[in-house]
Structure 1
């Protein structure tokens, strides 16, 4: 395969995938505006700084490199922020997909791996969630991604494009070699809990203790970022010979509540930290757990870090390393 374009490849999931692609021998160009990503996280390939909304810049990049495939990560991902700033989410997550597909059309790029989300399912009543479940997102983030999926599928029907859409569940953890991890401005539960265990923040907040779950807190299916990165490598390999496009859930099929996650962070770190309880956040479903049989069967995906303890241990190791780099105490 020729050159691969990775949009958002300097971000958290994108950079881990770029590392796996580089290790597999792919020739990579990363296109990122660096709003949340970092140049230091791009361990392979060439980094081009640019905006997806800048169609002239994007067209020049496509014209220069003549890509064989695109992996599209670049997006805003915060549910609470999407509720406060819906137009920003539809502009970045949805409109920019049109810009990207127009370049794919112009330069005859017919392979796409798209980062989507379990948020497209919304508040489901049965678990685990299969790819055939109704998609009724309950927040602008999920709706912006579902709209993008629809655009991709509609374009594929009229072109030679083959795609793999990966619907992520809750991604956490860090590169096992310690080279890259989550940025300091991330707001995911495991990241925040690790920060609290290391004394970086005073407490962790539980948003909602009255959900219809065994302990009243929300339940999520956590997937290690390296396993997710490998799923993208598998998806790209699939597209090299694929005759059909596919949609896959990316999770382990096991849910953990917020209280269970916090208890495990305390156990792994050996440290206590304060926990505050408050009301639910708008747009948060009670339970999100994946059925991931399809991706294992069709892509041959085999998770290597399928445990909450492994996820937390790698995240904690990364946060400790960051404290040392910044010259702060691990306390």
Structure 2
């Protein structure tokens, strides 16, 4: 989600779990890595997606304009949490089934076809499709693309990394998740980047509970990225999820001053985009695709979580 700050200038056991390198093991430069820089040169197909009458469509599916959500803090009614949880599980199932089918030579439009067909199987609608006019069922962000990559006809290559963000709408509620996958065998720097990105997500989830400052999430993430000489994209944020795809609260992924607190039965995403180096981001002319200005790679992992009195439950786990 695009935050209100848009400025497009344009525990040892935890480390072991994610195979994160220590400070003494840092890579000397990005020059040792080899990957194709993604540019806005690949065509996309204009495909019409059809949905049977038994799949409930969100309000924007036909006209492209999502309704404006209420500015108040969005606390979920207990009777709706189970429905959101179910949508989240479907989203994660589709995401991981898609990941299982990734291979060298397939295109991101092949991925879009897979997601569409899985949505039909699970009787749900792909949330990105026609959301403010977005043309595809899923976003696919490869290598230097930070977020909102539009699936196109570029073949995936050995060593690519790709962030696939799956959001679905089922029974009146959205579920949202993202995972970064390696295509074939990627280099050690890419593996390190993905491990740090995943570490940022899980460490920030660990501190969530009712009464906790929302800003603690961003502080946790930025402390980790600084430790490993990486950076986090500031222009995009997590968000509440429910009847609307983007609701309050906004979850900023960097250290900031805010007195907002987490309340019991809040549901929101945490989805930091982690960059190999500090850099600005730029937007392609398509109005969606966002890339790193210096062409460094990024990795993103996302969960939707449910805040309880003493902890947070990850809803996008299967």
Q: TM-score, normalised by structure 1?
A: 0.26
Of structures 1 and 2, the one with the larger relative CO (CA 8 A, separation 6+) is 2
Q: TM-score, normalised by structure 2?
A: 0.27
More helix by share: 1
